[in-house]
Amino acid sequence: MPDDWPDTVVPVLIQRRYFKYDIVKRTAAPAGHANALSIINASITQYPIVPAYAMTCHGVQGKTLSSILIADPRPSGMTVSPQAFYVALSRVQASAGLALARAPTIADFEAFVPKEDVQNEANRLKGLSESTVARMKRPRQDGR
């Protein structure tokens, strides 16, 4: 969205759907003839405004969506955790269905760097896993 637009503006993507509809004409057919079948190809263009079209990051957790538009993850001075932004990004089935209202910044990506204590715990668990695997590969003393 343009930078000069107010924070209250919410972008809504236009959707177009194509469909076929079989119609049996209800006109009187000559004796011995079946009613004619017509097939209509149509499309509808609409603004998909529905109740609850907007959801919070917490509201989409656990859902799988075909498309998603993510507005500014930090609206109007509110603080949103990097994990919540990740949840929103990861709800869409394919990247083609992902739209961002603004381009991500370097700060958005740097926010995903784990804190030092989390990195230390991950390293401790990795070391524990490696030592366990190495111990399991050693031959047992009792010959089994």
Q: What is the pLDDT of residues 32-91, one digit of tens each?
A: 666 556 677 777 777 766 655 677 877 888 888 888 888 765 555 556 677 777 888 888
Q: What is the pLDDT of residue 134?
A: 92
Give the predicted TM-score (pTM) of the model: 0.43
Task: Report the chain's terminal Cα–Cα distance, integer Å.
Answer: 68
Q: Report the mean per-residue pLDDT for the chain.
A: 77
Q: Which residue has the higher pLDDT, 103 or 123?
A: 123
Q: How confident is the model at residue 131 (pLDDT cuts 50, 70, 90)?
A: very high
Is 102:72 a contact under the CB 8 Å cutoff?
Answer: yes
